[in-house]
Structures are given as structure tokens and as C-alpha cells.
Structure 1
Amino acid sequence: MSLARSKDIDIKAEAFASLYDRVCKRKGSEAMVRDLLSQPASRKQILDTPDDRFLAEFTKKVFQSGFVWRVVRQKWPNFEEVFFGFDINKILLMPDEMLEQKATNPAIIRNFNKVKTIRENAWMIDDIRRSHGSFANFVTQWPQDDLIGLWDYLRKKGARLGGNTGPYALRTLGVDTFLLSRDVEAYFVEHGLISGSARSKRSLNTIQNTFFDWQKESGLSLQELSQIVSFSCGDNYVGMVQ
């Protein structure tokens, strides 16, 4: 489907066309925008993701939250080794004493409160795999029209997976989701679509419904649309030659 502006497009679609035109102008061309956009994983790719990779990514994002991402990436092979490759069954067998001991290991980031989330999120995944067979089955079976409901489930049932932590983990794992990045939040505020907290139920519903409308109009994934919105405002660095 062409995203160029058309007289035959209705009012809502025209709003997205305007957004897309602005992004193309900011980045220099439509080709540049297309090159910058990344795609979510296929349903099959997500279904092939083992439970340990979900736990690993949740853990990585928990440790990256409020910390230097580069340091977490550098130490990540050590995390994999210390925590048995995030094998769910092995993690569940860890007693409190072992968790405390591992939290003092200088090979990882020594934060006991965050280390505890590894076992807590393993419990969540174990509960889900008992009812759905795997966490991947659970994610792919979640209603597509209630993405923020999935975010809320992770916030309530998981450990430290609220805010952007859970959604960023899902995105990294290939699940098609928009993100409430600083630029995306700024877009919705500046255009008068939301007021107050972007995390309020009303704001989240407005943002989700807007993305769903754009998805119907454009045929693009939520991941692509989220990136387009972020490219439309804020500092124009991504993809630009310095």
C-alpha cells in the first residue's frame, strides 16, 4: 500500500499521511525512512522462542532500567553463565541463600533486589507454561486488540516489568508492539491527544487506539508505526549524516 497522500483517503488516513510526509522530509527521503524501519518477528519465530529466552530478556531489561545499558551488555555473557542459561527449572530450584550468594558475584551487576526478580519472573513463566504450554504460546494467543492489557499483565504478575521494561523486552523478543519512548509520548502530548500522565488508563487507551487506526490505514506493523512517530519529533539524529 502506498503511503503517499491521496485525495481519496479519509480524514483519519490523511492525518497519518501528513505524519509520514513530515518524517520523510526530516529524514531526506522515503527510501531513508524505509531503511530505518525494523520489522517484528513472525508468529512462527515467536512460537519458536524458548521460555529461557523470555526470562533472559526480562532480566536484561530489568537490569538495564536505570543503569548504563552498555555495561549490562558487556556483562551479559556472565549473567548467562551464572544463572544456568536462564533455565527455568534450574532457576526455580534456587534457594534464597544461593540467590544471595550469586548477587555478590562481581562477574555480574551486584544488585540483590534485581537478582531476586530472576526467580520471581521464572515463577510467572512457569505458571503460564503450565496453562499454555509455553510463554510464547501465551503471548501469541493474547488478544491483538489489547496490547496494553499484556503490558499490564507483565506489570502485575511479573517483577519490575512495569513502565517501559516489559514492553521493551517484548519488542526485543520480536513481539509487535509500539513503545512509549520519550519522543512518542511527546508526540501525543504536543498534538493534544493526551494530557497528564501517558500511563493513565485513558491515555493508554487513546494511544493504543490511535496506533490501531494508523495500522488499519497504513498496513504497517505497530513497531514500524512507533518508529515513524518517534522520527517525527524530537532531535533529528537517527539516520542523519553528521
Structure 2
Amino acid sequence: MSDNLLANLEHYQAIYQRACERKGGPDAVESLLSDPLADKDIARLGDDRFLAEFSKKVFQSGFVWRVVRNKWPEFERLFFEFNIDKVLLMPDEMLEKRAQDPAIIRNYKKVQTIRDNAIMIDSVRRDHDSFAQFVANWPATDITGLWAYLKKYGARLGGNTGPYALRALGKDTFLLTRDVTSYFSQRDIISGGVTSKRSLSAIQAAFNQLQAQSGRSMQALSTLIAISVGDNLAA
């Protein structure tokens, strides 16, 4: 990554100071920041929880999140608590029948992704102790590489879907929210599409630099940037 692309990136302390001024001081800012799970705790998660969260985020994409959350116990019931081995054995006819059940959200194409992503998880765990271990071992300094993996080998896990699922599972990742992407655009660190390979590489490099300066997690830094800009001033 060329240093010129990061020439306009502020130092961590400048971002932190502005966030404090906007939110009412360090205590207020710190109350808004959170950290991810430790890698060892990520590795202990069941692979079924990865499939469940991927599936939940697929269904939440373009839909009312509250409705999906309310129906989620029925998703768990109808898909065997997202047990990978059991989902892999579900034939097309069973998936189609599940997709017609009014207890869940009736969208056959999205229902199909449950088995598709179970196939991805199964493929990974054949070469690793578990899919959870695979994710735990992936460095946060290349988190966009994990995003790209999920997009390429998973089903409907591109865009913000994969990153939001990882965040929900406790994996250290920044998020490309409106305020975060606006910050990098305004600093001329990215131009054009935010999800282009060049833009993602520049954003990852920027977060890596801020992390080196602060020792903070990507998760905390992402929130810090978001509250330092945009229409989110404290009352």
C-alpha cells in the first residue's frame, strides 16, 4: 500500500479527541466502545453458530431485522439448530418444504443458502480443526481477506452481510457503515466504489495504522471513527 494513500489519514489521537468533543468527553466515548472476543473464545464456538449467524444475516439483508429475530427460534427448530451434518443431508425437496413454512420467512433462494454455507463450512473444517478455528486464526490485520473468502466461497455473504455476521460472532472486524465510508472518502483515502479491491486495501491499511498507534481493536476503532464524524452529535 502506497504511503500516499494514507497521507490524509489523521493520527489516532486526533480522531479520539474529536470524538470526545462531540460526545461529551472520554468517559462518554469509552462507554460507546466495545471489544471483540479473544481468538481462543472464537475458536471454542460451535460451527453450528457460524452457520446460524450467516443464515440470520442473509435473511436480515434487505428485510426488517426485528421480524427475523422474532422468527429465529423457528429457524433453529426447522434447521436442526443448524447442525452442519444434518443440514448437509437435507435434500432439495426438504429445503423447498421448509421454505414454504409460514413459521419462518418464505424465501426459497435464501433458504438454499443455508445448505450452501453448510457446504462451505464443511469444506473448511476438513482442513482445520473446525471452521471456528479457521476464523479465529485469521488475522484482523487482513480482515478484508476473510470478507473476500466468505464472498467467494459462501452464499450471499458479500457486501456487509459477511462482516456483520463476523461482528455478531465476536470476530474482530471493522464495519463499512455510512459514517465510516464517508470518513475515508472525505480524507481522499478511497475514491469510487468502497468495495473495490483498491478501496478495501486502503481502508485495511488505514485501520492497521490506527491500530499500531493505539493498540485498539478494529471493532473499537470502527466505532470511534463513526462517532467522530457524521450526524451523531451528543444531545
The corresponding residue for 2:44 is: 48
The corresponding residue for 2:224 is: 228
The corresponding residue for 2:91 is: 95
Write the distance in 1 (CA, Å) between the matches of 2:56 and 2:169. Answer: 12
Q: CA deviation at 1:15?
A: 2.3
Cα displacement string for residues 173-213 of structure 1 (whole angstroms, at most 9, x for unaligned residues):
00001111111111101111111001111111110000000
Q: 2:107 aligns with which of 93, 107, 111?
A: 111
Contact 1:167 1:177 in 2 (8 A): yes
Write the distance in 2 (CA, Å) between the matches of 1:14 and 1:88. Answer: 44
The corresponding residue for 2:4 is: none
Structure 1 range deviating more: 224-233 or 137-146? 137-146
Instruction: Map 1:201-240 onto structure 2 (within 5 A).
Output: 201-236=197-232, 240=234
The structure-2 alpha-carbon separation of the partners of 1:14 and 1:103, relative to structure 1 and needing over 3 Å to count, comes to: closer
| Greater RCO structure (CA 8 Å; 6+ sep) | 2
Write the distance in 1 (CA, Å) between the matches of 2:134 and 2:44. Answer: 12
The structure-2 alpha-carbon separation of the partners of 1:102 and 1:13, relative to structure 1 and needing over 3 Å to count, comes to: closer
Cα displacement string for residues 71-94 of structure 1 (whole angstroms, at most 9, x for unaligned residues):
011111111111110000110000
| 1:62 counterpart = 2:86 | no
Contact 1:24 1:32 in 2 (8 A): yes
RMSD: 1.5
The structure-2 alpha-carbon separation of the partners of 1:93 and 1:25, relative to structure 1 and needing over 3 Å to count, comes to: same
Q: 1:158 aligns with which of 154, 171, 190?
A: 154
* TM-score, normalisation: structure 2: 0.94
Write the distance in 1 (CA, Å) between the matches of 2:76 and 2:70. Answer: 12
Contact 1:43 1:140 in 2 (8 A): yes
Write the distance in 2 (CA, Å) between the matches of 1:72 and 1:26. Answer: 34
| 1:71 counterpart = 2:86 | no
* TM-score, normalisation: structure 1: 0.91
The corresponding residue for 2:117 is: 121
The structure-2 alpha-carbon separation of the partners of 1:106 and 1:13, relative to structure 1 and needing over 3 Å to count, comes to: closer
Structure 1 range deviating more: 177-186 or 13-22? 13-22
Q: 2:130 aligns with which of 109, 134, 145?
A: 134
| 1:182 counterpart = 2:178 | yes
Identity of counterpart residues, as a percentage? Answer: 60
Q: Any stretches of 5+ residues in structure 1 without a counterpart?
A: 1-10
Q: CA deviation at 1:147?
A: 1.4
Aligned pairs, how many? 229
Write the distance in 2 (CA, Å) between the matches of 1:146 and 1:23. Answer: 26
